[in-house]
Amino acid sequence: MLDYVPMSNDYPYAEKYGVNRALPEHGRDRGEVLDELRAMAKAEDATWESGRISGTMYCGDHEHYAFLNEAFGLYAHVNALQRDICPSQTRFEGEVIAMALDLFHSEAVDESTPVGLVTSGGTGSICHAVLAYRDHAAATRGTTRPNVIKPETAHPAFDKACHLFGVELRRAPVDPATTLVDLEWVSEHIDDQTVAVVGSACNYGYGTVDPIAELGEIAQARGIGLHVDGCLGGFILPFGQELGYDIPLFDFRVPGVTSISADTHKYGYAFKGSSTVLFRDKALRNAQYFFLTDWSGGKYCSPGMDGSRSGGLLAATWASLVSLGREGYRRYAEQIFATSSAMQEAVLTHPELRLLGKPTFLFSFTSDAFDVYHVNDFMRKRGWRFNGQQYPNALHMAVTRPQTQPGVVEGFAADLADAVAYAREQEAAGLSPHSGAIYGGVAGGMTDEADEFIKMVMADMMDRQQSVPPA
pLDDT in tens, 190-210: 999 999 999 999 999 999 999
Query: Residue type for 438, please?
Result: I
Nearest-angstrom CA–CA distance, 300 and 451: 39
Question: Could you tell me the end-to-end alpha-carbon distance of the chain, in angstroms, rounded to an integer?
Answer: 36
Q: Is the peptide bond before 392 cis (omega within 30 degrees of 0)?
A: yes
79: buried, middle or exposed (CB in 10 Å: 19+, 13-18, 0-12)?
Answer: middle
What per-residue confidence (pLDDT) applies to 439?
A: 33
Q: pLDDT by residue (tens digit) across 323-367? A: 999 999 999 999 999 999 999 999 999 999 999 999 999 999 999
* Partner residues linked to 262 by β-bridges: 276
Quick one: pLDDT at residue 299? 86
How many Å apart are CA 299 and CA 284, to the nearest integer? 23
- Residues paired with 148 in a beta bridge: 169, 196
Cα dist from 196 to 172, 184, 192, 402, whole Å: 13, 16, 11, 37
Residue 449 exposed, middle or buried by CB count within 10 Å (0-12, 13-18, 19+): exposed
Q: Cα–chain-centroid distance for residue 421?
A: 33
**Class of domain 326-445 as given by CATH:** alpha beta
Gap between the Cα atoms of 146 and 176, Å rounded: 29
pLDDT at 467: 60
Q: Do residues 293 and 262 touch, judged by C-beta distance below 8 A?
A: no
User: Backbone phi, then psi, for 133, in 5-degree steps?
Assistant: -65, -40
d(CA 111, CA 99): 20
88-320 has which fold? Answer: Aspartate Aminotransferase; domain 2 (3.40.640)
Mean pLDDT by 10 residues, the chain (471 residues): 49 89 95 97 95 96 98 95 90 97 98 96 98 98 98 98 98 97 98 98 97 98 98 98 97 98 98 97 94 89 87 97 98 98 98 98 98 97 95 96 98 98 98 69 50 68 61 56
Cα 99 to Cα 170: distance, rounded to the nearest angstrom: 33
- The gap from C-alpha 125 to its chain's centroid, in whole angstroms, comes to 11
CB 151 within 8 A of CB 199: yes
The closest alpha carbon to 321, from 91, 73, 54, belongs to: 91
pLDDT of residue 426: 97
| Calculated CA dihedral for residues 300, 302, 306, 308, nearest 10 degrees | -50
What are the residue boundaries of the structural domains of the chain, listed by start? 88-320, 326-445
Q: What pLDDT sits at residue 302?
A: 81
| pLDDT score for 447 | 56
CA dist., res. 129 & res. 276, Å (int): 11
Encode 237-269: b = buried (16+ Cβ within 10 Å), e = exposed. bbbbbeeeeebebbbbbbbbbbbbbbbbbbbbb
Does this model's pTM top 0.85?
yes
Q: Which residues contact 48 (CB under 8 A, 6 or more apart)?
A: 56, 57, 60, 402
* Strand order from edge to edge, sheet including 394-398: 353-355, 362-367, 394-398, 387-389
